[in-house]
Amino acid sequence: MSNVGKIALEEIKILVTNVFLKQGCNKENASALANTITKAEEDGSSSHGLFRVPGYVASLQSGKVNGHASPKIKQVSPVILKCDADNGFASTAHETSLPLLADAAKKNGISVLSIKGCYHFAALWPETEYLARQNLVGFACTAFKPSVAPAGAKEAFFGTNPISMAWPRSNNEPVVFDMATATMAKGEVMIAARDGHNLPDGVGLGENGEPSNDPKDILKGVLLPFGGYKGSAISMMVELFAAGLTGDVFSYEAQEKDNNDGGPPSGGEFIMALNPEIIADSNWEKHCDDFFQKLLSIDGVRLPGSRRHKNRLGDQYRSINEELLLKVKSFL
């Protein structure tokens, strides 16, 4: 009975593909979403894996998300791509448009993909890492519904507004960070609430507007941005890039629009690809590898993303909360 609670990644993929087919997705949409969820579990990022399935299903059942989405892409200049995600999940829009974004950056040195009308409920590193594996620098950000108080405020206005960058290395895994601009991602707070763990100081304010360490209390209150007014400025930049530049909703508008079915709110995503082969000098890769080696040689330092990449190289089984697994299977 040593495999109790363990499940193979391939099995996860088949399971969720079937769940989404059953719940109203066509093949293309079910497969894109299953890839996203399986990659999250592969990397040990449980807050973006099976944990999200009930939310995805709720948004299909309520009719909010189009499970047959067929994203449309318009190239408005040699370096600017606009994708209308057709009210589908972000994963489908990515599979359609990221290859075109990469091509534009390879040719011109930089390119932007502005996605509108999508439902993003996952990590951002799948899109930035995709670009890094094409020898490009990837950058992405997206807003959400308000759960973070701007610096100085006690009420939620910003989303957790994640930001990700991936740096390409041909002989190594890319260096990738992917982080909420809240002190902690909402998914992590939800996991802590589920598992009954207390949170460190500074993560958020409770229902009464006072600092709290109880994840359940913070979920009723408000999260704080990382690093005070500086993190708050970064979070504002995410709103402006993901909503101002895409023409989709700011977090506060997403809130007004959402049907609160427990799934992701509608929104935009800003993705950028930069090509060091054109922007930088010819020795850029060696130059940057020396930098990473030097950084790693310092006591106490690790490269962002390395834990995820290490998880990925482990065995092909993952331990999944049994209650969650039963819940996911109930959607079949």
Segment near a second copy (CB under 8 A); pick from 85-93, 94-102, 125-133, 273-281 = 273-281
Residue among 215, 268, 289, 287 nearest 83 (CA): 268
Find the binder of a second copy among 21, 73, 193, 233 (CB under 8 A): 233
- Helix segments in 68-157, DSSP class H: 90-108, 125-132
Tell me how many residues contact a second copy (CB under 8 A). 67
> Active site includes 11?
no
- Contact between residue 196 and residue 213 where contact means Cβ atoms under 8 Å apart: no
4 is an interface residue for a second copy by CB under 8 A: no
246 is an interface residue for a second copy by CB under 8 A: yes
Q: What is the largest CA-CA distance in the chain?
A: 58
Number of neighbours of residue 250 by Cβ within 10 angstroms: 20
Find the binder of a second copy among 274, 318, 320, 331 (CB under 8 A): 274
How far apart (Å, rounded) are the C-alpha atoms in residues 123 and 141? 10
How far apart (Å, rounded) are the C-alpha atoms in residues 68 and 87? 9
> Active site includes 68?
no
- Minimum distance between the CB of residue 47 and a second copy, rounded to whole angstroms? 16
Segment near a second copy (CB under 8 A); pick from 11-19, 42-50, 58-66, 225-233 = 225-233
- Helix segments in the chain, DSSP class H: 9-22, 27-42, 53-61, 90-108, 125-132, 186-195, 215-220, 228-239, 251-257, 276-279, 284-296, 306-313, 322-329
Q: Which amino acid is at 256?
A: E
> Active site includes 235?
no
173, 188, 239, 269: which is the annotated catalytic residue? 188
Identity of the residue, 292 or 317, whose beta carbon is nearer to a second copy in the bound complex: 292
Tell me which residues touch a second copy (CB under 8 A).
76-80, 82, 107-112, 114, 137, 150-155, 157, 165, 167, 175, 177, 179, 181, 183, 226-231, 233-234, 236-237, 239-240, 243-247, 250, 252, 272, 274, 276, 278-281, 283-284, 287-288, 291, 294-295, 298-302, 304
Active-site amino acid positions = 47-48, 188
